Amino acid sequence: MIGLGVAVAERVPEGTPVLFQGAFSETIKKAAKIGFDALEIHVQNPELVDAKEWKRLCREYNIQAVSLATGSAYLMEGISLSSPEPEKRRRAVERMMGHIRLAKELGAIVTIGVLKGLASECAGREEFEKNYRESLEKCITYAEEKGVTLAMECVNRKESDTFHTITECAEFARSFRSEAFRIYIDTYHMDLEETDIPGAIRGAADMITYAQVSDRNRKAPDGKHCEIRQMTDTLKEIGYQGFLSLECLPDPTAEEAAAKGLAFMRNLMRE
């Protein structure tokens, strides 16, 4: 059975597709009230999190923390796993290890989106991949020790200058030969990059560990603009048993977008 989640955070930069912001005790309450099964939590600094309290709140509201997003560290501090500056790479790896420790406590995966950095920030694609791979190897080794899964996002070319499609991300992830490194997919990015969404998902069935949903404009999905059903039908076909999380803008309000998005996702799961 595919569980349904929603993105939350204490704070994120304006324009980030996260519905509920604020103290975890408040965002989890809002998500549970609307009816979500799970949370995707955007965490800038995991060392500041009270893991025991978060676990208590998850039990209280019967909701699971399934994913820790790492992008705020890049967006708000400028550190990345591929940075040409060794100190920034070191800090990004240390931050990832903190996320891994927190994920271990919560039973979540750790996602890597914009924290991978940009090739344009390096001398070129070769330097980018060298730096990124070296950082990932350290993170994957630590994740293996902790029994945590890392997942790399397939990001569209408007927001990233590397690794856009499901196929290329899956091939890159497979090159590490680790059960602890997988990929995750997002309807927003797929809509811009994939010419055959079902085919791409089938080809990466062994590597997909998480999925996100929003409409083409990053608002709550309604099925009128983005071919979301192609993704969900194919995920069912390949036997996907993970989570599907709503990662969209709080428009017109967070509560309205969350309720609309959850109703749409539930209908897809029933079909």
Q: For residue 201, what are the contacts with CB-CB under 8 A and spacing of at least 6? A: 166, 185, 208, 231, 234, 235, 238
User: What pLDDT does residue 17 have?
Assistant: 96
Report how far residue 20's alpha carbon sits from residue 10's, in angstroms, rounded to the nearest whole number: 8
**pLDDT: is 263 or 268 the higher one?**
263
Q: Which of 153, 179, 227, 255 is catalytic?
A: 153
Q: What is the phi/psi pair of residue 50, to 5°?
A: -90, 95
Q: Which of 247, 255, 256, 271 is catalytic?
A: 247
Residue 75: closest CA among 18, 137, 151: 18
State whether residue 3 is helix, strand or coil.
Answer: strand
DSSP code at position 81: T
User: What pLDDT does residue 225 have?
Assistant: 66
Assess whether 271 carries a catalytic annotation.
no
Assess whether 153 carries a catalytic annotation.
yes
User: Could you report the per-residue pLDDT of 43-65, keeping only the tens digit for each?
Assistant: 999 999 999 999 999 999 999 99
**How far out from the chain centre does Cα 47 lie?**
19
Q: Is the pLDDT of residue 119 over 70?
A: yes
Cβ neighbours, 10 Å, residue 107: 13
Q: Is the pLDDT of residue 233 over 70?
A: yes
Specify the pTM: 0.96
Q: What is the DSSP string of 88-122?
A: HHHHHHHHHHHHHHHHHHHT-EEEESGGG--GGGS
Cβ neighbours, 10 Å, residue 194: 23
